[in-house]
Amino acid sequence: MATGGQWDPISLPIRPGLYLNFVERALAQIAGGPRGVVGLPIFDYSGGELTAGSFYVVATEKEANEQVGKANAAPILRVLSGGAAEVLIYAVPEEVDYAAMRDAFEARPFNVFVYPGEVDSVEQDATVAWVARNRKEGKHFSAVFGGSASDDQDPAVGNARSIRLSDEYVVNLITGAVLGDGTELTSAEYASVIAGLIAGTGINKSITYVALPIADVTKRLRNSEINTALTSGSLVLVHDGRSVKVEQGITTKSDATARGKIRIMRARQAVATDIPATAKDRYIGKIDNNPAGQVSLIAAIKAYLETLEVNNVLMEPEVTLDPQRESKGDCVFLSVSYIEVDSMERIFLTINV
């Protein structure tokens, strides 16, 4: 199990490392490190410099054209246009093996994963399972999906996909985009822009109501259809008469009473990635497991969380030794709590006249 994975109190991990669990206060109601990197498999790179099975980091249009060929660069450019700092591309061998491709990505750092276009339901399901397995093992990243042109014309199809792909780290776009020149992109193609947007947005910001540089959506949804989409966990693009906006930045882990928020998800990913990374570099195997060492570790984690507090990611962080489990030998048990900060998205007025 990788450093930073989940731990089970009745079956403690064997490998040295820092293990943490998120304990949600109300189950019934239910970023420190480099960010902005999108993982993108490339299936067509003829005319470029990539060799099969290789990785390359792209940050500019020039690099994209050189690496995969100008004719194949569109998915990379869409990711960059969304706001990602870099795109980690992988040249998928001709004898396409999706499982091998995903395995290759596991050894590389990135924040959001997206396909350049549509993949079938089998691969979608396998990718969601991959995201969930990596989360359990301590590697935290999200994935963005979309559908075909015909799927985009029927929101019920997109919503069914969201329900099937339900996961707190997964985003499913159900509306296609019309560019300024009239070109139509399916939701699966435009998902790369959304991946770039998610990666490039600070963890203390929401993508809700972010205006997108497109002319229209391929299907405008009625109010009732938008409501159904949101409760299904679908990411929807809406033309409000002036511009196209993201209706609400949500993951597929949503229902009628609680919507999984991309902002909250990315903040959790940051905490779950940064604290173990710092512990691995500065604490594991380097300090004594005695009161002085424990105080040092607690102070470091508290300082990190307080930095997030100052930047409006969370509030009221607390870090203490876990009173339910004794820290001794080579094991340290900590209890970490804080209040997650969301964006103000629904405002209700009562006007008395």
251: pLDDT strictly greater than 70: yes
Cα(79)–Cα(65) distance, integer angstroms: 14
Q: What are the residues facing 212 on neighbouring strands? A: 244
Give 267-280 pLDDT, tens digit per residue: 999 888 888 887 88
Rg of the Cα trace of the chain? 21
53: pLDDT strictly greater than 70: yes
Q: What is the arithmetic mean of pLDDT over 288-317?
A: 90
Q: Bigger pLDDT: 256 or 304?
A: 304
> What is the SS3 string spanning 34-89?
CCCEEEEEECCCCCCCCCCCCEEEECCHHHHHHHHCHHHCHHHHHHHHHCCCEEEE
Least confident span in 81-85, 140-144, 304-308: 304-308
Q: What pLDDT score does 126 carry? A: 98
Nearest CA-CA partner of 185 in 146, 238, 230 = 146
Cα(277)–Cα(198) distance, integer angstroms: 22
**Confidence category of residue 306, pLDDT binned at 50, 70, 90:** confident
101: pLDDT strictly greater than 60: yes
Q: What is the arithmetic mean of pLDDT over 167-189?
A: 97
Provide the residue type at 333 as one letter: F
Cα(232)–Cα(163) distance, integer angstroms: 6
Q: Where are the domains of the chain?
A: 37-263, 271-340
Q: What is the arithmetic mean of pLDDT over 295-317?
A: 88
Q: Bigger pLDDT: 291 or 303?
A: 291
Distance of CA 248 to the CA centre of its chain: 15
Q: What pLDDT score does 16 carry? A: 81
**Confidence category of residue 1, pLDDT binned at 50, 70, 90:** very low
Distance of CA 316 to the CA centre of its chain: 24
Q: What pLDDT score does 66 carry? A: 94
The pair phi, psi for residue 199, each rounded to 5°, is -65, -35
293: pLDDT strictly greater than 80: yes
255: pLDDT strictly greater than 80: no
102: pLDDT strictly greater than 90: yes
Average pLDDT across the chain, whole number:
90
Contact by Cβ (8 Å): 172, 128: no
Q: Bigger pLDDT: 20 or 211?
A: 211
Q: Bigger pLDDT: 254 or 88?
A: 88
Q: What pLDDT score does 217 carry? A: 98
C-beta atoms surrounding 231 within 10 Å: 16
Which 3 state secondary structure label does DSSP give 280? helix
Cα(118)–Cα(120) distance, integer angstroms: 7
**Confidence category of residue 257, pLDDT binned at 50, 70, 90:** low
Contact by Cβ (8 Å): 176, 185: yes
The pair phi, psi for residue 296, each rounded to 5°, is -65, -45
C-beta atoms surrounding 294 within 10 Å: 18
C-beta atoms surrounding 188 within 10 Å: 24
Q: What is the arithmetic mean of pLDDT over 141-159?
A: 98
Q: Which CATH class is domain 37-263?
A: alpha beta
